[in-house]
Amino acid sequence: MLAYILRRLLLIVPTLLGIMVVNFAVIQFAPGGPVEQVIAQVTGTAADAAGRVSGGSGGESGVTGAAMAQAGSGAGKYRGAQGLDPEFIRKIEKQFGFDKPAPERFWLMLKNYARLDFGESYFKGRPVIDLIIEKLPVSISLGLWTTLLVYLISIPLGVAKAVRDGSRFDLWSSAAIVIGYAIPSFLFAVLLIVLFAGGSFVQWFPLRGLTSDNWGDLSWPAKITDYFWHIALPVLSMVIGGFASLTMLTKNSFLEEINKLYVLTARAKGLSERRVLYGHVFRNAMLIVIAGFPGAFISILFTSSLLIEVIFSLDGLGLLGFEAALKRDYPIMFGSLFIFTLLGLIVGLVSDLTYVMVDPRIDFESRQA
């Protein structure tokens, strides 16, 4: 097993490198880069852009207002740069590091990432790692509570469906699961806002943020209540569309175990049906479900919360990445990609080790051989 773990750890390096190379190459061909963003500010709103792009306000890029005043008769290679002084364009390129060839920029990025230096945001003026750490609690809250609720709903429901396979309960619950799976989470989020957050009916829940403005002044019981009051609708909207696959996995695992010989033997010995199901079948059927918890959490954390954070104005990683993509804030985009990919690869290894922990009969090393 130690050799298997070592091989998996060594494979992380080329896998991570390949993902970074592909994404870096794709970005080079994407229009509307950070230089073009600044050019659009200059040409579109010259007066405002002078204040924003100078280092004096808003944490925007550090291109000086004096350089912006050089906008004149030159033509550039960027879209919308006609009429701007080429020297001004070169200063913007140097500010963002685009005065170097793409291979050199990629190599510098990798060297910095090896030291866990992810640079500073182009348009927020803060270290990327600080921004990620600041936004992480919101996304972890959504991912953790959603995963726990999905498991707490899916496992009992899947067991009940397996025990009552083919019954009326199995049919109507399957129909409800299919509907929940077919409708995207963000549509449920909009519906919940309309119904319960002041859309058209009642306003029982807040629409913005993870806590109230006076959260720091509340007592501990009131803080806990306020936190769950704010997170109720976002988590519910993610849970509704997230438990379908796990429920069916639980049901199919139970059905597979119920038809095995050891279950017939246990029943023949006179054991009660409850003891057969929860003393023998449950332990074996839940191996794949429980072992998949780390992977399910990472999947929900990184793929399901983006639109939910945007809809409910939750300042988490999803919203951070969305804003970075709109502004072409490459340090945030590549820093987040690096961290999330590395975390995903490590969690994949942890999931495999979890399988071994819950079922020692599994031996990945012998399967590799």
pLDDT in tens, 78-105: 665 666 677 877 887 787 778 788 888 8
Which DSSP string corresponds to 248-274?
A: HHHHHHHHHHHTSHHHHHHHHTT--HH
45 and 165 share a domain?
A: no
Q: Which residues pair with 197 in a beta bridge?
A: 203
Please say which residue of 100, 122, 148 terminates a domain.
100
161 and 96 share a domain?
A: no
The pLDDT, as a whole number, for residue 302 is 66
Helix (H) or strand (E) holding 37: helix 34-44
CATH code at position 170: 1.10.3720.10
CA distances from 342 to 11, 46, 176, 292 (A): 11, 41, 36, 18
234 and 354 share a domain?
A: yes
267 and 317 share a domain?
A: yes
96 and 138 share a domain?
A: no
Is 28 within the bounds of a domain? no
Per the CB < 8 A criterion, the answer to whether 325 and 34 are in contact is no
DSSP single-letter state for residue 203: B
C-alpha 366/C-alpha 369 separation (Å) is 5
The terminus-to-terminus CA distance of the chain in angstroms comes to: 12
Is 4 within the bounds of a domain? no
The pLDDT, as a whole number, for residue 364 is 62
The pLDDT, as a whole number, for residue 89 is 78
Is 52 within the bounds of a domain? yes
Per the CB < 8 A criterion, the answer to whether 287 and 276 are in contact is no
196 and 306 share a domain?
A: yes
- Give the chain's residues under pLDDT 50: 45-76, 369
Please say which residue of 75, 100, 125 terminates a domain.
100
The pLDDT, as a whole number, for residue 94 is 80
**Over the stretch 33-68, which tens digit does the pLDDT of each residue have?**
777 777 777 776 443 443 444 444 344 444 444 444
Per the CB < 8 A criterion, the answer to whether 284 and 256 are in contact is no
The amino acid at 117: D
138 and 96 share a domain?
A: no
176 and 315 share a domain?
A: yes
61 and 181 share a domain?
A: no
Please state the φ and ψ torsions of residue 203, each to the nearest 5 degrees.
-125, 75
Is 5 within the bounds of a domain? no
94 and 145 share a domain?
A: no
Report the number of distinct structural domains present in the chain: 2
The pLDDT, as a whole number, for residue 78 is 66
The pLDDT, as a whole number, for residue 290 is 74
Which DSSP string corresponds to 317-332?
A: HHHHHHHHHHHT-HHH
CA distances from 239 to 147, 205, 211 (A): 8, 17, 20
Is 69 within the bounds of a domain? yes
The pLDDT, as a whole number, for residue 172 is 92
The pLDDT, as a whole number, for residue 70 is 44
CA distances from 183 to 161, 237, 241 (A): 22, 11, 7
Closest C-alpha among 307, 338, 274 to residue 190: 307
229 burial (CB, 10 Å; 0-12 / 13-18 / 19+) is middle
Per the CB < 8 A criterion, the answer to whether 237 and 186 are in contact is yes
CA distances from 55 to 40, 49, 50, 51, 88 (A): 17, 11, 10, 8, 15
Using a cut of 0.75, tell me whether the model's pTM lies above it: no
262 and 310 share a domain?
A: yes
Is 118 within the bounds of a domain? no
- SS3 call for 315: coil
Calculated CA dihedral for residues 124, 128, 133, 136, nearest 10 degrees: 80
Q: What is the domain extent for residue 232? A: 134-368
Is 13 within the bounds of a domain? no
Is 245 within the bounds of a domain? yes
Task: Retrieve residue 239's tokens.
Answer: 């849970």
Per the CB < 8 A criterion, the answer to whether 334 and 22 are in contact is no
Please say which residue of 47, 75, 100 terminates a domain.
100
C-alpha 202/C-alpha 230 separation (Å) is 15
Helix (H) or strand (E) holding 330: helix 330-358
183 and 230 share a domain?
A: yes
Calculated CA dihedral for residues 144, 206, 132, 310, nearest 10 degrees: 100
